[in-house]
Amino acid sequence: MIIEANGYDIIIEKGCLDRAGDYLPADRKTLVVTDSGVPAEYAKKVLSFCGEGSLIKTIPQGEESKNFDILRDLLKTMLDAGFTRRDCVTAVGGGVVGDLSGFAASIYMRGIDFYNIPTTLLSQVDSSVGGKTAIDFEGVKNIVGAFYPPKHVLIDENVLSTLPLRQLNNGLAEALKMGMTSDSELFEIFENGNPYESIEAIIEKSLLIKTDVVNKDEKEQGLRRVLNFGHTIGHGIEAEQAGALYHGECVAIGMIPMCSSETAGRLKTILAKLGLPSSCEGDVEKIYEAMLHDKKSGKESITAVFVDEPGLFRFEEVSPDSLKEKIRTVVRGKNQ
């Protein structure tokens, strides 16, 4: 399947990594960025299709790499290798590699072409599409970045064969989120089907939702906030847990209090099937503070996304205090 996003194509095709030459420019230098946890053969395969003078840069795996030092290192590598405005950057990795190298591409010579080949399920169903790139700064996630859409996104389900199960489930949580808000058929795959045997359908349906939302509201003025379902509380939990829980796991927990009780019950059954948590132990006050910090809106109320029945969402302005009560329903507090 090929999905048309805002000005670029997303190619979803089993084995497309082996045919990446059909989509990448062979007559230009490419900086292929990957990380130390991604099997090296993926970046090597991509390099084999790139023009003369292309090279691979392998950054350390993990969120900590989304920083100014590594960004600088990528820019210096391009400068030293004589990259011009004609040359390009290709990410081969998860959301960390994609966010960082997309941002590097956006600022080198005021912007050179960027291609993304996401290799985690989370990056395939979510972060590689929508044009957001960023690094973290002063302990704040994604605070320095740019909207910078790629030229193409290549999604090959085969690369998921090397991904640890916990990482796969982490990505399924984001896809489940899209089903919860916008597609009851996608939700149905999770509730009554076998998600592990339906990965391609899950990727396609998730990206159809994400591209539809982003096409209508790229800069997150309104509708795009639907993608934040489960993220308001989820981000607070993620910050407090300091890496102990993955992003998708925090979103899984964060979705529960935003559903009607009947839907929350159905959601919990699915989360259990996917080995995802539906509660955690944590410091409620710290989660609340992190959640408020993350909202950065300066408003008294927060626009939250609610799901009363799978496939349908609504926005509601809520008070921070009411969200604190919701946090208490999924976090077994350490300070109560």
Catalytic annotation present for 6: no
- Which listed range, 34-42, 44-52, 79-87, 107-115, lies at the site for ligand NAD (CB under 6 A)? 34-42
Site string (123-152) toward ligand NAD, x via CB under 6 A:
x--xx--x-x--------xx----------
The residue among 142 and 328 lying less far from ligand NAD, judged by its C-beta, is: 142
Catalytic annotation present for 247: yes
Q: From the list 28, 29, 57, 66, which residue makes contact with ligand NAD (rule: CB under 6 A)?
A: 66
Catalytic annotation present for 293: no
How far apart are the C-alpha atoms of 151 and 19, rounded to whole Å? 16
Q: b vs e for 245-260, b when ≥16 Cβ sit within 10 Å of the residue's Cβ?
A: bbbbbbbbbbbbbbbe
- Residue owning tokens 């950065």: 296
In whole angstroms, the minimum distance from the beta carbon of 106 to ligand NAD comes to 12
The residue among 141 and 151 lying less far from ligand NAD, judged by its C-beta, is: 141
The residue among 191 and 218 lying less far from ligand NAD, judged by its C-beta, is: 218
The residue among 247 and 268 lying less far from ligand NAD, judged by its C-beta, is: 247
How far apart are the C-alpha atoms of 55 and 48, rounded to whole Å? 10
Kindly state the DSSP code that residue 29 receives in the 8-state scheme: -
Nearest alpha-carbon partner for 178 in 131, 226, 109, 138: 226
Site string (153-172) toward ligand NAD, x via CB under 6 A:
------x--xx---x--x--
Contacts to ligand NAD from residues 212-251, by CB under 6 A: 247
The residue among 87 and 126 lying less far from ligand NAD, judged by its C-beta, is: 126
In whole angstroms, the minimum distance from the beta carbon of 326 to ligand NAD comes to 22
64 binds ligand NAD (CB under 6 A): no
- Residue owning tokens 């109320």: 301
Catalytic annotation present for 152: no
In whole angstroms, the minimum distance from the beta carbon of 304 to ligand NAD comes to 19
The residue among 25 and 230 lying less far from ligand NAD, judged by its C-beta, is: 230
- Residue owning tokens 């929350």: 264
Which of 13, 191, 200, 220 is catalytic? The answer is 220
Which of 29, 45, 66, 235 is catalytic? The answer is 235
How far apart are the C-alpha atoms of 95 and 167, rounded to whole Å? 12
Contacts to ligand NAD from residues 103-122, by CB under 6 A: 119-120, 122
Contact assessment for residue 217 and residue 224, using Cβ atoms and an 8 Å cutoff: yes
Catalytic annotation present for 174: yes
How many Cβ atoms are within 10 Å of 242's Cβ, its own excluded?
A: 8
Which of 28, 225, 228, 286 is catalytic? The answer is 228
88 binds ligand NAD (CB under 6 A): no
Catalytic annotation present for 235: yes
In whole angstroms, the minimum distance from the beta carbon of 133 to ligand NAD comes to 6
Which of 141, 151, 224, 324 is catalytic? The answer is 224
CA angle 145, 148, 150 (to 5 degrees): 135
How many Cβ atoms are within 10 Å of 140's Cβ, its own excluded?
A: 12
How far apart are the C-alpha atoms of 231 and 237, rounded to whole Å? 9
Q: b vs e for 58-89, b when ≥16 Cβ sit within 10 Å of the residue's Cβ?
A: bbebeeebbbeebbeebbebbeeeebeeebbb
* Interacting residue ranges for ligand NAD, rule: CB under 6 A: 35, 37-39, 61, 63, 66, 93-97, 99, 119-120, 122-123, 126-127, 130, 132, 141-142, 159, 162-163, 167, 170, 247
Residues labelled catalytic: 110, 132, 174, 210, 220, 224, 228, 231, 235, 247
